[in-house]
């Protein structure tokens, strides 16, 4: 099926083909005609499914066909809200890449924190057609009277589940209050927990719903492996696998900033080009690490979940879960960094004895059993600790802070027994 058959103008259809899409992916087939027709969209799609192009292409065409495109003092047409700086960069680059095919190019501004606001204020002088940003910085730009949202015609919430998980609910609500009631809305999410589903129900008007389960041909080609290993030998095992498996590049996920720095430092001392990537790094450093990784000047990037949001590396062969993801949804996001755009990939999870029960819950949530392996010379000797009553598990099953507060309040309401 050619892109032109979906209703795209020839320039954008050619741009899609020129940038690697031989044919529309399933989510693009469903979303592009609906968005061109002005419908709202509620989409569930994994990383690497082509979801960014699924909204970028039709929204560019709607902007190009609007009567007020371009010119000085232009009104903002499309606002895209994302959870991280890296994803903002990825989406803004997609708009610029496809928008270059139009006879009049849109003015695109990226609004992110971690860098000086002044260049972004300057970029918004005279207005912008498309703005992509994180909630906090977008509100900063509004407060500086550089960004006006009253005329927005299309709003995209990309990775909406992460926007809520990362604590952006209040900032997102403030942004929504500044938008016109009549607008086109796109809400994309890898998962739809209760909070995300409620947000979609509140904001969308008779949307087209594209569910991941309805897109069987959209599943990435990712071979999952689970290796049993003692926690203290994970770095040695990682070095061994880098040597024996011959991975040209690897993205390694850890739980904390400290682990990022420690693991990357140990790999460098072993002669492996490695860099940490975490939220405390300055934006310039983060962008340099990603540029070096894409150019293969860095072989291994050791990252936290937050810092790795929005990483889009073509043909990344392997993702390693050095520390297991806290939640099954995060596990899906992590492994989706490989096996993108039709390529195959490998996702390796290190499973110490103490994490075995947790990994079983991840398996249960993703509906997939991953056989355990042992690597010669790294056979585990540790035993799993005895389970604490009511403890452990994937996020969403174990009590969080609010759960504990509610339990305490209920106990107090009952009084002494």
pLDDT at 388 over 60: no
* 3-216 belongs to CATH 2.40.30.20: no
Considering the domain 220-373 in this protein, what is its CATH number? Answer: 3.40.50.300
Percent pLDDT > 90 in the chain is 58
* Overall average pLDDT of the 145-174 stretch: 90
pLDDT at 189: 86
Q: What is the DSSP string of 165-234?
A: HTT-HHHHHHHHHTS-SS-EEEEEES---HHHHHHHHHH-SS-EEE-GGG-GGG--EEEEEEEE--GGGH
Please tell me whether residue 396 adopts helix, strand or coil conformation.
coil
pLDDT at 195 over 70: yes
Band the pLDDT of 341: cuts 50, 70, 90.
Answer: low
For CATH 3.40.50.300, list the domain ranges present in the chain.
3-216, 220-373
Query: Which of 102-111, 146-155, 207-216, 244-253 is least confident?
Result: 207-216
Model-wide pTM > 0.75 = no
What's the length of the chain? Answer: 417
pLDDT at 351 over 50: yes
pLDDT at 62: 96
Q: Which 8-state DSSP code applies to residue 157?
A: E
CA distances 4 to 35, 65, 205, 279, 346, Å, are: 14, 16, 27, 41, 34
Reduce the secondary structure of 284-324 to three states and give it as a string: HHHHHHHHHHHCCCCCEEEECHHHHCCCCCCCCCEEEECCC
Contact partners, residue 389, CB within 8 Å, separation at least 6: none
Structure confidence by residue, pLDDT tens digits, 108-134:
999 998 889 999 999 999 899 999 999
Band the pLDDT of 415: cuts 50, 70, 90.
Answer: very low
CA distances 417 to 107, 394, 403, 407, 412, Å, are: 66, 32, 21, 15, 10
């Amino acid at each position: 099926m050619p892109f032109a058959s979906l209703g795209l103008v020839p320039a954008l259809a050619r741009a899609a083909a020129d940038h690697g899409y031989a044919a529309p992916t399933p989510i693009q087939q469903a979303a592009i005609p609906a968005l061109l027709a002005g419908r709202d969209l509620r989409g569930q799609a994994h990383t690497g499914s082509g979801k960014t192009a699924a909204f970028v292409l039709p929204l560019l065409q709607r902007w190009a066909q609007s009567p007020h495109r371009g010119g000085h003092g232009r009104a903002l047409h499309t606002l895209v809200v994302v959870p991280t700086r890296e994803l903002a960069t990825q989406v803004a680059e997609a708009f610029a890449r496809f928008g270059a095919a139009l006879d009049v190019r849109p003015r695109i501004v990226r609004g992110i924190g971690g860098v000086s606001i002044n260049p972004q204020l300057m970029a918004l002088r005279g207005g912008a057609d498309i703005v992509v940003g994180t909630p906090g910085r977008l509100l900063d730009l509004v407060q500086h009277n550089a960004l006006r949202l009253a005329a927005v015609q299309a709003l995209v919430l990309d990775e909406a589940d992460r926007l809520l998980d990362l604590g952006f609910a209040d900032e997102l609500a403030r942004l929504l209050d500044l938008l016109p009631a009549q607008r086109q809305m796109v809400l994309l999410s890898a998962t739809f927990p209760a909070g995300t589903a409620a947000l979609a129900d509140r904001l969308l008007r008779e949307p087209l719903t594209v569910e991941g389960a309805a897109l069987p041909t959209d599943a990435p080609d990712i071979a999952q492996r689970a290796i049993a290993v003692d926690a203290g030998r994970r770095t040695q095992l990682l070095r061994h696998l880098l040597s024996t498996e011959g991975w040209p590049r690897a993205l390694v996920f850890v739980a904390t900033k400290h682990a990022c720095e420690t693991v990357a430092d140990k790999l460098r001392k072993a002669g492996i080009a490695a860099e940490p990537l975490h939220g405390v790094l300055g934006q310039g450093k983060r962008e340099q690490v990603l540029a070096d990784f894409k150019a293969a000047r860095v072989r291994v990037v050791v990252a936290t979940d937050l810092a790795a949001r929005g990483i889009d590396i073509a043909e990344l062969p392997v993702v390693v879960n050095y520390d297991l993801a806290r939640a099954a949804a995060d596990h899906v996001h992590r492994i989706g960094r490989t096996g993108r755009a039709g390529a195959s990939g490998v996702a390796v999870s290190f499973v110490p004895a103490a994490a075995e029960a947790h990994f079983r819950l991840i398996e249960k949530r993703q509906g997939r059993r991953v056989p355990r392996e042992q690597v010669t010379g790294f056979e585990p000797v540790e035993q799993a600790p005895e389970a604490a009553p009511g403890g452990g598990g994937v996020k969403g099953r174990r009590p969080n802070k609010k759960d504990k507060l509610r339990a305490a309040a209920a106990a107090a309401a009952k009084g002494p027994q």
